Structures are given as C-alpha cells and as structure tokens.
Amino acid sequence: MITALLISAVFFPHTNWSQNENIRLVFAEDVVNSVVHKNTTVAKGHVEFKHGNTRLFCDSALYFQDLNIVHSYGDVQINQGDTVNLFCDSLIYNGNTNKSKLLSNVRFRDSEYIMITDSLLYDGNKSIGSYTNHAKITSINSDLKLTSVKGYYYSTSKTFFFKDSVHIEDTKYELFADTLEFRTIPSSAHFHGPTTILFDSSTVECNRGIYFSKEERVQLWNGATLNEPGRSFYADSLLFNQKTDFGEGFCNVVMYDTTEQVKFLSDYLLKKPKNTELILKDNARIFQYSETDTLYLAADTITYYQDTITDAKQSIFENNVAIINGDNFIRCDSAYFSETDSILKLHKDPIIWNGDMQLFADSVLTTYYDNEFHKMYMHQNAMLISMHENDTIHYDQMKGKLMIASLDSSKIKQIRIEQNAQSLYYAEETKTDSAGIEFKTLKGMDRKDCSEIIFRFLNGEIQRVTFIDNPTSTFYPMNQIPQKELFFKGFSWEIDRKPDSPFEE
C-alpha cells in the first residue's frame, strides 16, 4: 500500500565526484573570457560540462576556474549515468565542496517518479538532498501524488524524510502527516507524529508507527484509532496485516460497534479475518448499551464469534466471569451466550444476586433478549438465600432440584421450585417501642417440604406462596430453633463474591 505512496526511487544517488578533479568544459558554441570576472569562462549555446560521471547541459554558463564553480542558466539539465535526470532554470555547482543548488522550476525524473520544486540543495559529502519550500512528487506509472513543505534524502542509507504538511493522494487512499520517513531497502514507512490515512470506507489515526509495504503490515504505537462504518477501534499499540486481515491490539484496547451499541475493552485483542472472531484477554469487558439497562460482561478471556453466512453471533467467557444487568449481578467461572436462541449458560459455581437475594446451583441457563433477563433455570442443588436486615444468622432459604425464576424489568417476580422443594422462612411481626416507633422483629421459623412451591414477589419481598401436593410443615419459635435447622445443606452466603458495579464512580 504505502510503497505506492512514497518514493522508492533514488533522487540523488551517491556520486563519484572528486574534490581534486576540476570541472571540464566539453562543448559550447561560443566561448569567451569574462570581462567582469578573472579566470572565468563564459560559455553559450548547447553548453556541456563533465565532472566525474556527471554531465551538465545548459544554454549558457559561467565557469569560475579558480573556484571550480559553475553557474548554469537556461534549460539546465544534469545526467548521472542512467539513473538521474535533473532539470532547472539555473544551477550553482561547486566542484570542490561537492555541493549544488538548483533554482527555479526544478524537476527531477527517473523511470518511475517526477518531482517539481522551486529550489533544491544537494550535499555530495553527506549524500543528502533537500528542499525547504514545497515539492510535488508524482508517479509516472500510477495516480500517486505527494506534497510536503520540506524533504530530505539520505542516499547512503537510501532513506527519505518528508516534513511539514505531508500529503499523499492515491486512487485507493489519502494520507496526511507531519513527518514521514521511508526506508527504501526494507521498504518501510515510519510515521513520526500525527498521521491520518483515509481509505474508501475507513480512516486510520496514529501518532507513531511503521508500515512494511512488501508484507502489507503495519505497526502503530503511542495511540492508534481505526474508524470504519459502524465500528471504531483504538489501542495504545496496534498490529495489522492487510493480506491476512489479522489484527492485534495491546493496552487500553477499545472497540465500539455503533450499530449494535456494543463496546469491547481489554488490554489485548486479536481480530481474525472479516471480524469472524474476536479474542479479548487481560481485563476483558463488554458493554452492551440500551435505553433501559446496560449489559456488562467481564472475564479473563472473552471470545466473540460471528458466522459470515448466517450472521449468528456467539460469545464464550472464561475464568472469573462477572455479568451485570439491572438488578442482576452474576458470578461464575465460565459462560456461553448464543444470540440465535438468546440463551446464556453459566457454568462452574454460578451465583446470581438480585436485590437482597442470592441464587445458585450446579448449572444455570438463562434467557436474555430485548436487553434484559426473562427466565433463569437453575439445575441441581438449586438454592435461594435472602438475608434479613442486619442479621447474619437467620436467612430465608429455598431449595430444590430445579428452580425457575421469572423476571420483569430485571426484578424477580416469581420463583418456581420443582422436585424436593424445601423452604425455610422467618415470619416477621411489627412492634412499637416506647417512643412510638414501629420496628420489625422475627417471630419464628417456618419450614415446609413438598413436591413443588411457587413464590411470588413484589419489590423483592414475598407476597404469596403456593405449596403443591400436601406440604409438611414445622414451625419453631425463635428461642426454640435447633442449631442444625438454621441452614439447609449446601448453604453458602457469598456476598463478598458479588461483582462491583462498573457504573458507579
């Protein structure tokens, strides 16, 4: 890509000029001695000079023999072997210092490129050519155009250095930069300063980087942003290969999908061809925004798949998974989400907090669509625990082989326990103290066992309980509860594992 942007030809190849060799006048139609300058030859008409392997042509010239300097005028042309053709209106060449200055309507041409500027300096001792007052470079074989205020060429290392308002135009892209270096031997372009590259459907913003043109790969650092329709991608450092369509981002990676209103964040991201797979690692997070609640997902590793044929999307979350949506806070070791059937599966020690309630089971399957949870299916050793305010001993508990929670606007509205349903519930009563202030106190514990129990909630509190198929019931006054009856088997209150909200400052 950038090979076509830049100049791979040599403006000023290293010459064989010798400081001890005098410039030689080869031909002129008219040669006279100057009446103004001593030891100076005035040559006119098809003038030709030779110095080393360089030939100089012009309409007229002053040759200062003692100084070994030539001033050339009118249709000046310099040929160096078969590689360089320089043209200008006037030239000052010093054969002793090996320095030259080309003035007015300066043109360079080789087999591939043409450069036009108003003045050009070349130091043969340091092998550096430079312009300081704008130049335009065009390709003979393509539509490439390059302009900059300043330019330098180091012929020994074959490196170009463009400075100040660098602008490149091509049929496939357009580039704006402050400083651009191009090393011809490895064919690499180095960005030093703010750079913008415009493509047909995307834009790259970067501060520093390298583009390896033969491999068509880029390395960017000090902050790089890729913008394309419906998506933006930022990373402190970015690697991208155009041929393979593989990309990697390092440190403070942010990818935002405006179409889906999804933001991906991590300290490492791997992008596979056609965005069919994204892998986020190290502080990996996803935010899915909506008008109601934002879905937050975090894990050590997040893998996001998209089928290019069906457009079906799947996500896998591995290690230290945290999920937050509205009143639901979830923690587990791994999770899987399929957008096709709107199912989120939670594996290995899944725990859900909803308001004051904690729910867990061996495995949990939830339905998530329209930006909220609707059903939660808890299989094997399912349990719900609810703590009474400022009481770390007495917990309401529900247990069974299968527990189904129904939600509305992220709040649990109903819980259905099937197979070996058990409940342990503390009845409350309201009392009034001597100051006339009402307060609630626990009256006793009611334990029930049956085949199925249905709990209905309002604002997080049980409003109605339905017991199916002749429940057995035991009631214990508070001062008569056996210690072994305080907790169901498998009880574990793990509020310390509840994820912290990323939305709170």
Could you report the per-residue pLDDT of 432-468, keeping only the tens digit for each? 877 777 777 888 999 999 989 998 988 777 888 898 8
Higher pLDDT, 457 or 13: 457
Which percentage of the chain shows pLDDT scores above 90?
48
Whether residue 505 is predicted with pLDDT greater than 50 in this model: the reply is: no
pLDDT in tens, 102-111: 999 998 876 6
What are φ and ψ of residue 5, in 5° steps?
-70, -35
CATH (one of 3.40.630.10, 2.60.450.10, 3.40.50.920, 3.40.50.300) for 1-185: 2.60.450.10
pLDDT for 504 equals: 60
pLDDT for 331 equals: 96
pLDDT in tens, 178-216: 999 877 677 677 888 999 988 777 888 999 988 787 777
How would you class 470 by CB atoms within 10 Å of its CB: exposed for 0-12, middle for 13-18, buried for 19 or more? exposed
Structural class in CATH, domain 191-289: mainly beta
A 10 A CB-CB count for 463 gives 10
E-strand stretches of 273-371: 277-288, 295-306, 313-325, 328-338, 343-347, 351-354, 357-360, 363-369
Q: Tell me which long-range contacts 375-378 makes (C-beta under 8 A, separation of at least 24).
A: 375/404, 375/405, 375/406, 375/407, 376/352, 376/404, 376/405, 376/407, 377/402, 377/403, 377/404, 378/402, 378/403, 378/404, 378/405
What is the DSSP code (8-state) at residue 275?
G
- The mean pLDDT value for 226-248 works out to 87
Q: What is the distance between the alpha carbons of residues 189 and 323, in angstroms, rounded to a whole number? A: 43
Q: Using 50, 70 and 90 to split pLDDT, how confident is the model at 329?
A: very high
Choose among 177, 218, 220, 226: nearest CA to 201.
226
Q: Spell out the residues 6+ positions from residue 482 whose beta carbon is closer than 8 angstroms to its own.
A: 476
Whether residue 470 is predicted with pLDDT greater than 50 in this model: the reply is: yes
Domain ranges (residues) in the chain: 1-185, 191-289, 313-497
How would you class 63 by CB atoms within 10 Å of its CB: exposed for 0-12, middle for 13-18, buried for 19 or more? buried
Q: Given CATH 3.40.50.410, say whether it is the number of domain 313-497.
A: no
247-261, 379-393, 426-440: the lowest-pLDDT one? 426-440
| Mean model confidence pLDDT for the chain | 86
pLDDT for 204 equals: 86
DSSP string, 344-407: EEEESS-EEEETTEEEE-SEEEEEEETTEEEEEEEEEEEEEEEEPTT-SS-EEEEEEEEEEEEE
pLDDT for 155 equals: 67
pLDDT in tens, 290-317: 877 889 999 999 998 887 777 788 899 9
pLDDT for 10 equals: 34
Choose among 136, 133, 161, 138: nearest CA to 149.
133
Residue with tokens 């130049």: 135
Whether residue 3 is predicted with pLDDT greater than 50 in this model: the reply is: no
Q: Spell out the residues 6+ positions from residue 73 whose beta carbon is closer than 8 angstroms to its own.
A: 58, 59, 60, 61, 89, 90
Whether residue 34 is predicted with pLDDT greater than 60 in this model: the reply is: yes
Q: Spell out the residues 6+ positions from residue 470 whose beta carbon is closer than 8 angstroms to its own.
A: 450
pLDDT in tens, 399-436: 999 999 999 988 999 999 998 899 998 888 887 877 77
pLDDT for 370 equals: 86
